[in-house]
Structure formats: C-alpha cells, structure tokens
Structure 1
C-alpha cells in the first residue's frame, strides 16, 4: 500500500507540474501578444481615437496606384444570391440594383474614363446565344469587360462565343461548363491573357452548395487606357 501510495503521489505531482508549465507558457505568451492599448479599446497605432481604418474603393483590401481603376467582381451563389460588379467605387450590377440575372452578367466600361457604357444579362440556359454573340462583336477597342456568372453560365455557350472571350483575354472560358462559376475582367485589344480571372468547376464531390460550387470573388486594379 505504501508503494502504491507513493506512486500515486508522484503521478499527481508530475501531473500538477505539467499543468503548471502549460499554464505558465500559454498565459505568458497571451499576455505578451495582447497590448494594454487593445484592452483599453484604444485606436491602433497611427490612428486617432474614434478614427476608422481607411476604406478603399469597392471595399478592396488595398488602394490602387495612379492611373488604375479599383474593381471587385463577385459571382452568384447557387441560384439564390445574384452576382455583384463594382468598378471605380461604383456598383454597376447587383441584386440591390435589380439588374442581374441567371447566366452571364456583363458590364462594359470605358477604359480611359472609367464610365459605364452598357450592362446586360444573358441567359445561358434557355436564352438566345446570338444575343450574346452580337453583344461581344460590337465591343469597341479599349473597352474593359467585367463578367460574373450566376446559376448556369455555359449550357448555351458555343465555340464562337468562347472565341470572343478568349480575344478579350480569357484563359478559362474554353473549359467553362454547366453550372461552373466564373468571374473575369478583360479588355478589347488586350495583347496578353488577363490576370484577372477565376473559375471553379461544378463537381458534386466538392460543391459547397447542393448542385453548385462556392461563389468566386476577385478584386484588383485595372490599368487605365492612356490615349
């Protein structure tokens, strides 16, 4: 019994010692990382009390350099929430503006002034693909093209329309399929592929929603076209 009792006391001592060590290490780290300023609710360094962090155009994470336009494109979520397109801090298309719909939502912007030229929706499930074909053919040189998918973006897609988007700088439109999500910013006259594009496949094994992949979002700075 004495041996058993000693073993129990030793085990208890080791457990208490280990607990003390963990608590000391954890809380010492926590206290070092939490400043008194945070506890008192003071403003971060560089900000005056009551002053808010700077807001960037379109709600982006950072500001754009001179002669660049800020933009943010968000695809639709399944067939429930429509997409959103913001350019130079102006929301061009969204649910709130009531100008989005199933298919491809496209806004055309003057690449020099940043002014909206045209915005339209093309039903890619049961609509007329010739309407989109004509729309893309009539885009003038120097126009910035912002595109966001919603619900289904590819059922009616054909090689001719895909070629138009490839001419605008798309690298993913050739792979766009039924209920895929796609966001893209390109331009008429672009010599290289656009760096502003995201595409996610409709895959029942990875879809976030029942029958649809998760929404996509891209933001960045589009260079102004200089005459």
Structure 2
C-alpha cells in the first residue's frame, strides 16, 4: 500500500476518534440537552418586533399606532399604523401645518391622507375636509412647524368634537399630536400638546418633538 493511502486512512481514523471523544465529552457536560444550529453559531433568533416598533404589543382587538410630530420646521412628522407608514418625509406626503390621516375604525384600512398649511393656506380646505369625515372613522393628526395661525373657531370646534382636549387652545408654533374619531362620546386619551414658549422651547422658536404610541380599540359593527 502506498504511503499516501496509509496517511489518508490514519487521518480518517484520527477524525473519527476525535469526533467520538468530543461527542462523549459534550453529552456528559450538557446532560443530554439538545443544541440548535443557532447555539453553535453563538446567536439566537432575534425576537419579533412589535408593530410600529412599539414597546408593548397590542391585543388582537386593537390597532397599534405611533405618532411623531415635526421637529421645528426641519424634520417632518410621521404616522405609523398597524406597521404601515401612512405619512412621513420619506413618503413625501406631509406638509407644514396639520397632517391628517383618516382610517376605517373597524378594518384599519387607510381612507385618506392630507396636509393643510395653517400659516398661509386657506382654512376653508381644512373645514371641508373635517366636515366630510364619516362616522366611525379614526382621525390621526400630527403638527409640523405651525398648526394654528389660520385656525378659527369653527375648525377648533370640529376637531374638539373628534375628542380633542387641546384644539381650542392651539397657538402659533405649538406642537400637537392627536388620535380621535368621528362619533366619540368622550374625549380621546391619545393626545399630546406642547405650547410654544421661549422659556422652555428645545429648539429656537419651537418646542421639542412629541412622540406617542398605543393601542386603539377596534370599532365593532
């Protein structure tokens, strides 16, 4: 037999013996516990993230949402609903003023998105939009830059009827995020508001960013 063949046989025998010794040692030290490929590689599968990257998972009878207001007049707001980004700078569907998304309160289907310039726009556009909201619709609103210069009493009343506590007091460059609904009997628990105050503003002329997440109960037919 050639030397090469002998070396191959010896190498094979050595490999088998080493494998048997390693397996015996491993079994003894692990008390016959099973091991996965991910454990061999030193990492476990990442835990699934909650919808919209929220801290808490929402129950099946509710919708997950996450709202972030604009940052001064530089970074626009964003709206995530059931892991779908409804409005954001990336989607290029936001604008200065009020950014609004309408959602079917039963199915979670996006019905419409729009933005209203509350500094130099026409308040009639916002009024027409608010009056056309159908009963049972969820209303998500996020401010950007200035939400209130063009705001009048009629618009404040219509938004208050959606469940807002702060629509009546919105002022120049205030920051505001809100989730309400057409037909609510009580005020919404999903609302945050920061007044534009030079003593407390985080940015030069604007308050800090607002961020809110939560679970909205589905409307039952």
TM-score of the two chains, using structure 1 as the length reference = 0.78
Partner of 1:163: 157
1:197 aligns with 2:191: yes
CA drift of 1:50 comes to 2.6
Residue 67 of structure 2 is aligned with which of 73, 86, 110?
Answer: 73
**Structure 1: how far apart are the matches of 2:79 and 2:220?**
23
Structure 2 unaligned spans of 5+: 1-41
Which has more radius of gyration? Answer: 2
| Equivalence for 1:27 | none
- Give 1:210's match in structure 2, choosing from 186, 204, 212: 204
Counterpart Cα distance in 1 of 2:43 and 2:220: 41
Q: Give the CA deviation at 1:54.
A: 2.8
Structure 1: unaligned runs, 5 residues or longer: 1-47
- Report the equivalent of 2:56: 62
How many angstroms apart in 2 are the aligned matches of 1:93 and 1:139? 18
**Aligned counterpart, 1:136:** 130
Query: What is the aligned counterpart of 1:111 among 99, 105, 110?
Result: 105
Cα RMSD (Å) of the superposition?
0.9
> Quick check: 1:86 aligned with 2:80?
yes
Q: Secondary structure at the match of 1:219?
A: strand
Equivalenced residues, count: 180
Measure the CA separation in 1 of the matches of 2:197 and 2:45: 45
